[in-house]
Structure 1
Amino acid sequence: MVATVSTPAFTFAGKGVPLACPSLQTHGLCIGKCSLPSVNNAHQKNNAIICSNSKIRTIISPTSVRAIATEDGQLASAESDQKITKYHFLVANAKFMLDEEEHFQELMSERLRMYGERNKEVDFWLVIEPKFLDKFPNITKRLRRPAVALISTNDTWIKFMKLRLDRVLEGEIEAETAEEAFASNPAELQFEKPENWTAPYPKYEYGWWKRFLPPQMDK
């Protein structure tokens, strides 16, 4: 855990003189005046003073003080960093992805069944007209709308699906929340039924993809 606090410039008088800086209080542990090691226990690097003792390592620069717990973990982060998640995606027009590519429904259903048997948390979803496409003009200019994206945190599986589906475009995004990654624009999907269905099995029912939509978005 790292605690960083901005502070004005500091000065010191020479060896053996404690560093003067505003007190910092993190989980009851003061690392300000009187608790920082003296300068003769420090060395200078990249225009900063680096001090250390058995409990903490303190990096002091003219603009900030950083304290890092090294043994007992008493120091906690002053600001918890937001976790960034990388999502990999394949995107194509909805007609192809949901109505024409028969293998896609089978592959999705089989993977969902396998996850259920192994009690594994689902890490793949379908997003209809995802908003993140606005960040990819090179993709959208090649894409008929409405579009559908297959999103997963599993890069290896997405590459496998790219080979199976072929006529899809690939990319990746980073998001702080699932809501950000799954955000979508309203879209109405309408697929015409083929006049002549020659396959020896019935065509998949309209709406088969709803169970693969992100939570709260399958209505």
Structure 2
Amino acid sequence: MLSLAVGSSVSAMAKVSMHNTINYANGSGKSTATQLGFIKGSQPPPSLLSSATTNISTSFKTAVAAIDSSDLTSSPTPAKQEAKKYSFVVANAKFMLDEEEHFKELLFERLRNYGERNKEQDFWLVVEPKFLDKFPNITKRLKRPAVALVSTNDTWITFMKLRLDRVLSDSYEADTLEEALASNPTTIEFEKPENWVAPYSKYEYGWWEAFLPAGSRESKV
């Protein structure tokens, strides 16, 4: 009879201990010893303390894991594309395309050199460029239509300014190549000289089209 009573007491105590351990893990705030059903000041068995500590630790780790898995950060804002600098020389179309004796040869030689080196072209001819609206001090000195030689190579543009002599020069910035090389529609036509006395052939009309921006359209008569 005594052994049965003791066994029943131990079983009941174990149930109370497990129930109170779960309550503690859920944050009831009472001390472990009291929750396990022991008198204040007494020491519970090590096995029960170990079980309670394990349950508390597991609950704490689960809560931390839930916080770590939350998406607390926003997507980074894409960096804004920086504007690129373009340098240019500009003059009236007749001088640039019909009168200057060496301009055509200089451009075709540079284009050939780029091809041999597999280098991407970084210079263009722009007929009546829109960017001239930003340079009133230049436009008031220009005969129209105007043609600009534009490049991202500032050093080469400086050389071309010295080489061509009768041109105006400056630089500007643009976010895209299309914006940098935008042009206004115009018509270019040159009168053929009645008496050509130079030892070389006259430039053929339209030679400059190889240097116009891709997709550029020009009205011709």
| TM-score (structure 1 length as normaliser) | 0.65
Runs (4+) off by over 2 Å: 28-32
Q: Which residue of 1 aligns with 2:165?
A: 166
Counterpart amino acid of residue 178 in structure 1 = L
CA 1:77 to 1:197, structure 2 compared with 1: closer, same or farther past 3 Å?
farther
Counterpart amino acid of residue 84 in structure 2 = T
Structure-to-structure mapping, 1:5-16, within 5 angstroms? none
Alpha carbons 1:210, 1:218 under 8 Å: kept: no
The yes-or-no answer on 1:78 pairing with 2:77 is yes
Alpha carbons 2:129, 2:148 under 8 Å: kept: yes
Secondary structure of the residue aligned to 2:173 is strand
d(CA) in 2 for partners of 1:96 and 1:121?
A: 27
The yes-or-no answer on 1:115 pairing with 2:114 is yes
Alpha carbons 2:127, 2:183 under 8 Å: kept: yes
Cα shift at 1:83: 2.4
CA 1:29 to 1:172, structure 2 compared with 1: closer, same or farther past 3 Å?
farther
The yes-or-no answer on 1:94 pairing with 2:76 is no
Q: For residues 24-49 of structure 1, what are the alpha-carbon distances to aligned partners after superposition, in whole Å with 9 as ceiling and x for unaligned? A: xxxx97469xxxxxxxxxxxxxxxxx
Secondary structure of the residue aligned to 1:164 is helix
Cα shift at 1:79: 3.4
Alpha carbons 2:185, 2:217 under 8 Å: kept: no
Alpha carbons 1:123, 1:152 under 8 Å: kept: yes
| TM-score (structure 2 length as normaliser) | 0.64
CA 1:125 to 1:77, structure 2 compared with 1: closer, same or farther past 3 Å?
farther
d(CA) in 2 for partners of 1:29 and 1:96?
A: 64
Counterpart amino acid of residue 90 in structure 2 = V
Cα shift at 1:218: 5.4
Q: Which residue of 2 aligns with 1:144?
A: 143
Cα shift at 1:186: 0.8
Cα shift at 1:102: 1.4
Secondary structure of the residue aligned to 1:87 is strand
Counterpart amino acid of residue 87 in structure 1 = Y
RMSD: 1.7
CA 1:191 to 1:199, structure 2 compared with 1: closer, same or farther past 3 Å?
same
Alpha carbons 2:86, 2:172 under 8 Å: kept: yes
CA 1:29 to 1:92, structure 2 compared with 1: closer, same or farther past 3 Å?
farther
Structure-to-structure mapping, 1:170-185, within 5 angstroms? 170-185=169-184
Cα shift at 1:77: 4.2
Q: What is the percentage of aligned positions where both structures have the same residue?
A: 70
Alpha carbons 1:175, 1:181 under 8 Å: kept: yes
Q: For residues 104-150 of structure 1, what are the alpha-carbon distances to aligned partners after superposition, in whole Å with 9 as ceiling and x for unaligned? A: 00100100000001100000000000011011000000000000000
Cα shift at 1:161: 0.3
Structure 1 runs not aligned, ≥5 long: 1-27, 33-75
Counterpart amino acid of residue 123 in structure 1 = D
Counterpart amino acid of residue 137 in structure 1 = P
Alpha carbons 1:211, 1:218 under 8 Å: kept: no
Q: Which residue of 1 aligns with 2:52?
A: none
Structure ranking higher on relative contact order (CA contacts 8 Å, 6+ apart): 2
Counterpart amino acid of residue 175 in structure 1 = A
Q: For residues 56-91 of structure 1, what are the alpha-carbon distances to aligned partners after superposition, in whole Å with 9 as ceiling and x for unaligned? A: xxxxxxxxxxxxxxxxxxxx7413212211000000
Structure 2 runs not aligned, ≥5 long: 1-69
Higher-Rg member (1/2): 2
